[in-house]
Each structure stands twice: as C-alpha cells, then as structure tokens.
Amino acid sequence: MTSNQDSSAIRLRHLVGGRWIDGSGTPARSTDPASPEEAVATYRTAGAEQLDSAVRAAVTAQRAWRDLGLIERGRILRRAAEVLAGRAEDIAVLMTREHGKTLPESRAEVAGSVETLHYHASRARAADGATYPSGHPDEVIRTLRRPLGVVAVITPWNFPLQIPVWKLAPALLWGNAVVWKPASDTPAVAVTLAEVLCEAGVPEGVVNLVLGPGSLGAGLVARPEIAGVTFTGSDAVGRLIRDAVVPRGAKLQMELGGHNAAIVLPDVDPAAAADVLVGAVVGSTGQKCTATRRIIAVGDAYDDLLPELAKRFEALRVGAGRDADTQVGPVINERARAEIADAVQQAVAEGAEVVARSSGPLPDAGHFVHPTLLAGTPELTICREEVFGPVVTALRAADLDEAISIANDTRYGLTAALFTTDERAVRRGLADLDAGLIKVNSPNTGSELHAPFGGLKDSTFPAPREQNGDSSAEFFTWTKTAYLRTTAPREARS
C-alpha cells in the first residue's frame, strides 16, 4: 500500500476522545485524481477498538456539552467559522488535490462551509421553543428541545467539507456528541475540519472522527448507543443503514441519489438555457446528486437547443483542477471513470447518439472523462440509472404533459428544473413534478442553506430535511411539552 510517492504524503490520525491516535486496521491512502500515483495522505484505518472508544467517548462527553448551553455552543461554532476562514486557501488547495474539483469550486465550497457555520451559530439566539395557551389561568404550556444524545454522521466524498458542515454544525448546536465517519476518498479534508472544530474549542469527546471503509460505517450505525444517524450517499447503502437503524427506533436522516431532469419549453432563449444547463451537467465534474442527467426539450425547443448545447460541450476544457484554465476536473477514482465510460458505451449500443463531447485530448494520467452530450429516448438504461459524471441525455417531448411524464419516470425525486416564461407552465410544473427541489429558469444544482433541502421517492428518507435551521432542529432534537402551573406558597394557604 506504500510507495515512494507516499513519502511526502500527509500522515492522518483518528480523533477519539480529544486525542489524535493511530488506527489498528489496514494501511490506506488517498490520492490525487489528476495524478493517481501521488498519495495525498496515508493512515491506518480504524479498527473495532477505535470505533468502540469513539462511541464511548461521545457518550461520556455528551451530557456536559448539553449542559454548556445553546448560546455558548453557538459561540464555539462562530469561532469555528473564523478558524476555517483563516485556513480557507490551504484547505481549498488540499480539497482540489484530494478530490480533483477545480480550485474555484473548492474555494466556493470552503466559503459556503464558513457561511453555514455562521448561520447555525446565529441560530443559538433564535427561539428554541413555542408557547401555547392553557385552559387554566395560572398555567403556561411551552415546548423545549433536548438533544438526541450521540449522533453518527456518515458523509460522502463529493462535497468533503460542505456536507459534513451541514450535518455537524446543527448536530453540535443542539447539544449532541458526534461520531463521524467520512468517505475514504477524501480523509485529509475531513481531518482538517476536525482540527478546526478542536481549535475552536469543541470539548474533548464531543466530536470523534474515525477513518476507514464502508464496513466501519456499518459497525457504527449498528451501535445501540447511537440515537440518530445522518447519511448522504447512495440509495443502496442507505437501504442497509435503514434496516440497521429503524428497527431500534433511532432517528434517521438520509439524502440519496438523483436522476434529475430539466424541461425546456420553446418560449425561452436556447443560448441562455444552454449556458445554465451545461454548468448544471459538468459542475464538479458532474459528481453531484443534484446534477442535470436528462434534458427534455419540448417541441421546437429540441432543434434549437441541441446545437447550443453541443457548441458548449465541445469547448469545455478538461484537466487538473489546480490548472487555471481547467473547467472540468477528473472524476474521483478509476472505478468511477470506468463506470462512466461503460455507461456511455452501453447507451450507444442501445441506440443513443453521441451529439458532442469535449474536443481536446484528455491528459495522459489521471481519472479523466470527456463531458458528453447524448441524444436518445427515455428507454435507455442511462435515462433510468444514475451515472455520477459529466454526461447528460437530451430527450424530445411533444408537449409539457409528455415532458413531465418523462421527468417523473424514475424512482428518484431529488431535483427538477423548468425553463419557461409561461407562468401557467410554472404552476403546472410546481404541482406535478415529482421532486423535492424545483428550480425555475435556474440550474438543478445549488441551494440556499437556510431553505430545506431534500428529495422525494428513493432520493430521501421521510425525515426532517437538511440545511434549514428549523428542519435541522427537528431532526437533531426531541421535543418535550411542559405544562407550567403556578401555585400559592404553602404559608399563604388558608
């Protein structure tokens, strides 16, 4: 597992009970997707002993963290935002090395993570309950929140900083202790975030970080001490987590895959729509659960839109994320590259046409793929199974009814987009598109951290959504209702 290229790699450790410790598992490494022979970080995976210690440390630390109070916990999150902002450029460069996304995309992710920490820190001074009238004149009814206890956080590699912050910040704000298992492809970014939280003053044992394969996450969610699990990843893994967590009554929040459609009507400017859509397909090399996978053009829009899309695909520049002129970086690993290539090949074998792809040569080394625009029919496998890369299929629909039917013909329901100037069409789309997030004249990708985020159907688990402050509070706490009735002191009784 080691090589000469590992000598300059960052050595990672696990954070357990406030101490940085080595794992007892197998040697592991993360690599640069643009230069796979180059190790970014090396470590030994966590074994059963480290996992057990992490859970026990969280259980031990949680009560004192709860008792610290909401406002003080908010202050610590605010300090974390300041520390993260101070390290922003170094972390962005590390993210580009370990993930492969372009440096502007990494910088934007760090900035969004800073903003998320500030947002949840500010929620510490918002109302934490509600009052209700009582039928008794000397009584007040109010709600209050208590933390779940210990929460398992399992995060993906595609947003190695932003998604963990979405989950960790509200979990900590509401008084939970955390055991965090990040994706194996981006462990160095995870360690930097854990360092930021420690430097900000999160007490020992409140945040525990264990690095390792998926089996480590399976062991974590199965622990009876875990009162809640928040997970973002594939629906296949999500089903396994659901089967382990739901029967014992723990809370579960999951955001899973997507097969997102964008409908384009004839009344919009095809060039303007193409500008938006290409970014939604290839941003972060298409490695977003919200990325546009199908473009459904209605009537004459198809013939007008396809050349505009093709022009933009052919002009895309693919290369290492650290290069200033790169628009599309590599995919995360060789397995992902092969899966994307196989999916495109299968689509062509099933009758799809390759309309356009990036025209320049791919770099000799690295996990690079050509961003590809296909044209085909809804029956294609690629129109039903999610392909996690910069590939999209253009489809033709006769009218809006058929376009909505095609868009909804998937087991997923994460995002949908509708491009039109017709308000009646907008109302129809909002009512009938099966998606938890619907964008009008804007990309499928992107969301505001203060608005709820989540999907429908197999894209999610029915639980409070991510990001929004109220939704986060609903997930990371239990609510109690208290009836507070005053009574006269004993000595005043007759």
Residue from 186, 254, 223 nearest 54 by CA: 223
Task: Write down the pLDDT at residue 396.
Answer: 98
CATH 3.40.605.10 fits 4-256+461-481, yes or no: yes
**C-alpha torsion sign, points 209, 210, 214, 215:** negative
Q: Cα 24 vs. chain centroid, distance in angstroms?
A: 29
Task: Write down the pLDDT at residue 494.
Answer: 52
Whole-angstrom distance, CA of residue 191 vs CA of residue 207: 11
Whole-angstrom distance, CA of residue 181 vs CA of residue 297: 41
Exposure pattern of 243-274 as b/e (b: 16+ CB <10 Å)?
A: ebbeeeebbbbbbbbbbbbbbbbbebebeebb
Contacts of 327 (CB under 8 A, 6+ apart): 102, 282, 316, 317, 318
For 234, counting Cβ atoms within 10 Å of its Cβ (0-12 exposed, 13-18 middle, 19+ buried), the class is middle
259: left (phi over 0), alpha (psi -120 to 50) or beta: beta
- Kindly report the three-state secondary structure assignment for every residue of 458-489: CCECCCCCECCHHHHHHHHEEEEEEEEECCCC
| pLDDT per residue rounded down to tens, the chain (494 residues) | 344 456 689 999 999 999 999 999 999 999 999 999 999 999 999 999 999 999 999 999 999 999 999 999 999 999 999 999 999 999 999 999 999 999 999 999 999 999 999 999 999 999 999 999 999 999 999 999 999 999 999 999 999 999 999 999 999 999 999 999 999 999 999 999 999 999 999 999 999 999 999 999 999 999 999 999 999 999 999 999 999 999 999 999 999 999 999 999 999 999 999 999 999 999 999 999 999 999 999 999 999 999 999 999 999 999 999 999 999 999 999 999 999 999 999 999 999 999 999 999 999 999 999 999 999 999 999 999 999 999 999 999 999 999 999 999 999 999 999 999 999 999 999 999 999 999 999 999 999 999 999 999 999 999 888 888 899 999 999 999 999 999 988 875 55
User: Which residues are annotated as catalytic?
Assistant: 289
Bridge-based pairing of strands 292-298 and 391-397 is: parallel
Measured from the Cβ of residue 240, the count of other Cβ atoms closer than 10 Å reads 14
Beta bridge partners of 103: none
Note the residue count of the chain.
Answer: 494
pLDDT tens profile 179-202: 999 999 999 999 999 999 999 999
Domain residue limits, the chain: 4-256+461-481, 260-440
Task: Write down the pLDDT at residue 7.
Answer: 65
N-to-C CA span, the chain: 83
**Please, what CATH class does the domain formed by 260-440 belong to?**
alpha beta
Task: Write down the pLDDT at residue 398.
Answer: 98
Task: Write down the pLDDT at residue 467.
Answer: 85
Measured from the Cβ of residue 215, the count of other Cβ atoms closer than 10 Å reads 10
Determine the residue type at 451.
A
